[in-house]
Amino acid sequence: MNIGTSLAPNIDHYNRRISYLRVSVTDRCNLRCIYCLPVKDLRLLDHAEILSYEEILEVVIAGTECGIRKVRLTGGEPLARRNFVQFVASVCRIPKLEDVSITTNGVLLKERAKEIFDAGVHRINISLDTLHRLKYAKITGYNCFDEVWEGLKEAEAVGFSPIKINVVAIRGLNDDEFPRLAELSVKKPYHVRFIEYMSIGHDSQWKPEKYISSDEIKSKLKCIGPLHRIPRATHDGPAERYRFESARGEIGFISVLSHRFCPTCNRLRLTADGKLRPCLFADNEVDVKTPIRNRCTRQDLKELFRKTIAKKPRQHHTKIPDSRDCLRPMYAIGG
């Protein structure tokens, strides 16, 4: 296999250094969030279609030899996969990885927080779109608000830092709660991040009128006080970071649609069914599962990383109001 590029292994055609891999360990989830799942066609993978933990580790190790330094474990719901904690410990032992983090809905976190922390993961993102129990059930399909809240407190108690709270902003659903959610960052060291609602997958429930831009979210937070911009640090992700006066935590805005951050995008995704994905919104994936199951070499896997990096588009073509560019729904990609 020869991709025929003279670029450094992790520099793409637009001079971006690709160092971040988001790994979906499963497409299964213990919640049914309305913004994540398709309207009808929920097709879950058979276990045999999902990469084994050993296969994921092989891919991640090859990635580190191509410049990957940060990994985020996600899903589906990562904590719902059996033996996840042992797997986390193995990922944390990969020598060249500098940072391993997790995105979870928090439902199972109370019992697992300490083990995950002790395994070596100290940064965590928890999805929580509302502070109302009933609304939580309406958004997620399950009455689990209390479990998530307990999980959040446990994560803080065992020492996770930062703890980021992901809020998908949806008009008519949780826009009345933005100030209350944002206030969590004042007394607690939480980073509350508002994510613009995206249409992902051919059958999503997204509608233009439900979308709220980060600028509008920001204006809804003025009642709390002025937001002070935090300058970008070298390893920052896509969030624009702010802080309220004397707050312990931060506010972040992830403006996927209104302010494209493609020029600084440094990431690839590995789906649970073994596809390397160059861009969240693009289905031009590279299959690693077939080669791995045909006993390909580490060198072959590295070539597949290079091939994926070479496929990264300059920018996604997703536009408001119609952003249905990719066919896979979010649960099947790994958010």
Nearest-5° Cα angle at 316, 313 to 322: 150
The nearest distance, CB 138 to ligand SAM, in angstroms, is: 15
- In this structure, are residues 221 and 179 in contact, taking their beta carbons and an 8 Å threshold? yes
**Which of residues 19, 26, 101, 166 is near ligand SAM by CB under 6 A?**
166
Residue 200 interacts with ligand SAM (CB under 6 A): yes or no: yes
CB atoms within 10 A of CB 257: 19
Question: Measured from the CB of residue 288, what is the shortest distance to ligand SAM in angstroms?
Answer: 20
Contact with ligand SAM (CB under 6 A) among 59, 71, 195, 279: 195
* Strand order through the sheet with 190-196: 227-229, 240-244, 250-254, 190-196, 163-169, 123-127, 99-104, 70-74, 20-24, 267-270, 275-277, 286-287
Of 115 and 300, which CB lies nearer to ligand SAM in the complex structure?
115
Q: Does 36 bind ligand SAM (CB under 6 A)?
A: yes
For ligand SAM, the closer CB: 301 or 332: 332
If one asks whether residue 74 binds ligand SAM (CB under 6 A), the answer comes out as yes
Residue 21 corresponds to which tokens in the numbers above? 């891999």
Residue nearest to ligand SAM (CB): 335
> x/- binding map, residues 120-149, to ligand SAM, per CB under 6 A?
-------x----------------------
Q: Where are any strands of DSSP class E within the chain?
A: 20-24, 70-74, 99-104, 123-127, 163-169, 190-196, 227-229, 240-244, 250-254, 267-270, 275-277, 286-287
8 Å CB contact between 198 and 254: no
Instruction: Determine which residue in the list 18, 88, 198, 268 makes contact with ligand SAM, applying CB under 6 A.
Output: 198
Residue 267 makes CB contacts below 8 A (sequence gap 6+) with: 18, 20, 21, 22
Distance CA 276, CA 267 (A): 11
Q: Is 71 in the site for ligand SAM (CB under 6 A)?
A: no
35 binds ligand SAM (CB under 6 A): yes
Binding segment (CB under 6 A) for ligand SAM, from list 70-78, 81-89, 271-279, 293-301: 70-78
Ranges within 101-120 binding ligand SAM (CB under 6 A): 103-105
Contact call for residue 37 and ligand SAM (CB under 6 A): no
Instruction: Tell me if 269 sits within 8 A of 21, measured CB to CB.
Output: yes
Output 22 or 312, the one with its CB closest to ligand SAM: 22
Query: If binding is defined by CB under 6 A, does position 280 make contact with ligand SAM?
Result: no
Q: Are strands 240-244 and 227-229 parallel, antiparallel or unpaired?
A: antiparallel
Q: Pick from 29, 71, 280, 326: which binds ligand SAM (CB under 6 A)?
A: 29
**At closest approach, how far in Å is the CB of 50 from ligand SAM?**
15
Strands (E), 11-162: 20-24, 70-74, 99-104, 123-127
**Closest distance to ligand SAM from the beta carbon of 32 (Å):** 11
Assess contact for 308 and 268: CB atoms under 8 A: yes
- The residues that touch ligand SAM, with contacts defined as CB under 6 A, are 29, 35-36, 74-75, 77, 103-105, 127, 166, 168, 195, 197-198, 200, 330-331, 335
